[in-house]
Structure formats: structure tokens, C-alpha cells
Amino acid sequence: MKGKIQDKQNKKGLLKNILIISTVIVFIIIFLRVVFKIIQGTQKTTDVVYEVETEKLRQVPIKETILFQGIAEGDPQVKVYSKVSGKFEKRIVNEGDFVKKDAILFYINRDMPGFEGQLAPVNSPITGVVLSLYYFDKGAFIDPQKPVGEIANQKNIKVVLKAGEDSLVKIKKGQRAVLIPSYKGQDGINGFVDTVSPFINKDTLSGTVIVKASNNEDKITVGMSVDVVIDAIERQGFMVPQKAVLMGEDITYIFINDNNMAKRIDVKTGYMENDRIEIISEKLQEGMDIIVSGSYKLNENLKVKVK
């Protein structure tokens, strides 16, 4: 009886050992397969070659333009003042009329002892268009210290602009400028930078720029909102397609093809025109093979192949 019990115990122990060994073997096989796949995946990643498009880096002339918005004024455009005090008597011209220098705009009744019935004329100080008259009611008191109207020469236009310090250092007297009406469908007129402030206001961090243009065809009306495009100083620089430049959290960078390996170069960006952007770095050299397409999936030292 004891022998049979012993045999049963031995068989149970044997089965238990076989089960443990089988389980261990299964775990070993699974482990080895996982390791093999990891190694295989690493090898595949290493061997992947990414197709890219490249462009040779070349220095090109950069004609940077600076855009402003302003209000067109006549050149000159002046306020009109009376030489004497008195009461408004009658108007000779209307707003919008063209007048020559010294033309009479209206009369003032001086209403002073010794001057009864004598009217004093108010004359235009320049030739131009009457932009505005401030008195219409007979008997209104006119003070010589306050303007009574405004005249502008519309055949010449000026725009007074405020330029920030970054733009101001790029603008020089005599540079070409184009004045374009802000609403669409209108041609612009060519002008030039007439005045550039030599100083920067410490409170506004800006300076004054005055652009002038001939307006013989009356394409721009005094008081109109205009876009002013100024051609800044021409210089040399590297311009690449915008899609070649990648943005990180705190960095901007590009990839170059260095013997069929992707190499990253950190850059700064500058002037933009159409779909191209200026890149700046001391590491950039003429003739570098810049990756311009397919760079979004690259990392340092990955293999690349030029399409």
C-alpha cells in the first residue's frame, strides 16, 4: 500500500517538474523572439534611407522692402489764418475749389471803430485745393490765432510715417518708394524718401520718415489711406524655400545632405519674400546641399538619398 502511494507521489512530482520546465522554456522562447524583433527593428531603422530633395545654397542679392501705412497729404498742405480779428461776413470759395496763391477765400467784417463797412479779405497762402473751411455762419467771431481753413497742393503728395528702430536703420534718404491706395484695383505712384529722422525717440522707439511723390495724374487723393513700400538697402544673403526651415520649441534649423547623411544646422531667419526666407548662420557655406523637401521626418545622421 505504501509503495503505491509513493508511486503516485513520484508521478505527481514528475508532472510538476515537467510543467515547470515547459513553462520556463515557453518564457525563454517568447523572450528570445521579443529580443530578436527588437534587434531586427533596430537594424531596419538603421538601414532606412529617406528620399529627399535638395538645393545648392547660393548667396543672392536681397532687395528688402519695408511696408508702411499712412495718410496722403498735399505737399505743401497748410492751415489758413486771418491776419485780423472780426466777424465772418461772406465766403468767396467752396471746399474742393482750386485756388491760386493770394486768392480771396472769404471776407471778415472787422467791426471796429474807424473801420465800419470795411471788409478784410482772407487770402490763400499757396496754390492748391480748398480742403476745408471752418466758418460758414455770418457774424461768427474769427480769432487770428485759430485756423479758418486748410489748403493743399494735390499735384504733389507726401506721407509722414513713424518707423520703428529696426526699420529706421535700413532707410536712407533718396531710396525708392511706391505709394499705393489701400483699396484694391488702383495703381500706385513712384516716389522717394525725402527725410529720415537722425534720432530715435526714446519714448516711442521710433523716428519720422517723410516720403514724397508727384501726383500729376491725381491717382491719389489728399486724405486717402495709402500703403507705402520702401526699397531698403540691397545686400547679399542666403535665401531658401520656407519648407526647408523647421521650427523647434526654442530653435530654428535646417538639414543638409552631408555625404548622404542628414546633418542639422541651427539658423536664424530674416527677410521673407514670396515662398522663400533668408537664413543666417556662421556655419552656412556656399554650395552646401540644403534639404528642401522631406526634412520633416529626419533626425541627425539618418541616411538620405536625393531624388
Instruction: Write the pLDDT tens digit of every residue in 244-295.
Output: 999 887 889 999 999 999 999 999 998 888 899 999 999 999 999 999 988 8
User: How many folded domains does the chain comprise?
Assistant: 3
In a domain, 57, yes or no: yes
Number of Cβ within 10 Å of residue 24's Cβ equals 10
CATH code of the domain containing 134: 2.40.50.100
In a domain, 1, yes or no: no
CATH code of the domain containing 243: 2.40.420.20
* Cα distance between residue 98 and residue 100, in whole Å: 7
Say whether both 229 and 296 belong to one domain. Answer: no
Number of H helices, E strands in the chain: 2, 23
In the sheet that 98-99 helps form, which strands lie side by side, from edge to edge? 77-80, 149-152, 128-133, 98-99
Q: Final residue of a domain: which of 216, 234, 252?
A: 234
| Pairing mode of beta strands 176-181, 189-196 | antiparallel
In a domain, 9, yes or no: no
Say whether both 101 and 53 belong to one domain. Answer: no
Burial of 126 (0-12, 13-18, 19+ CB in 10 A): middle
Q: Final residue of a domain: which of 152, 179, 204?
A: 152
Say whether both 102 and 122 belong to one domain. Answer: yes
Yes or no: say if 103 and 124 are a contact pair by the CB < 8 Å rule.
yes
Say whether both 159 and 230 belong to one domain. Answer: yes
* List of the chain residues with pLDDT < 70: 1-17, 39-47, 111-117, 184-185
CATH code of the domain containing 172: 2.40.30.170
Three-state SS for 30? helix
Question: What is the domain range of residue 158?
Answer: 66-73+154-234
In a domain, 297, yes or no: yes
pLDDT at 10: 59
pLDDT at 22: 73
pLDDT at 41: 61
pLDDT at 73: 95
Look at the block and give the residue holding cell 547623411: 261
Instruction: Write the pLDDT tens digit of every residue in 85-101.
Output: 888 989 899 999 999 99
Say whether both 273 and 289 belong to one domain. Answer: yes
Listed residue (162, 157, 155) closest to 178, CA to CA? 157
pLDDT at 15: 67
Residue 20 Ramachandran class (φ > 0 left, ψ -120 to 50 alpha, else beta)? alpha
Enumerate residues 6+ apart whose C-beta is below 8 A from 169.
none
Say whether both 192 and 224 belong to one domain. Answer: yes
Burial of 127 (0-12, 13-18, 19+ CB in 10 A): middle
Q: Final residue of a domain: which of 234, 251, 272?
A: 234
Angle, CA 166 vertex, CA 162 and CA 169 arms, to 5°: 85
Q: Measured on CA atoms in the order 293, 295, 297, 298, is the torsion positive or negative? A: positive
In a domain, 19, yes or no: no
In a domain, 106, yes or no: yes
In a domain, 247, yes or no: yes
In a domain, 15, yes or no: no
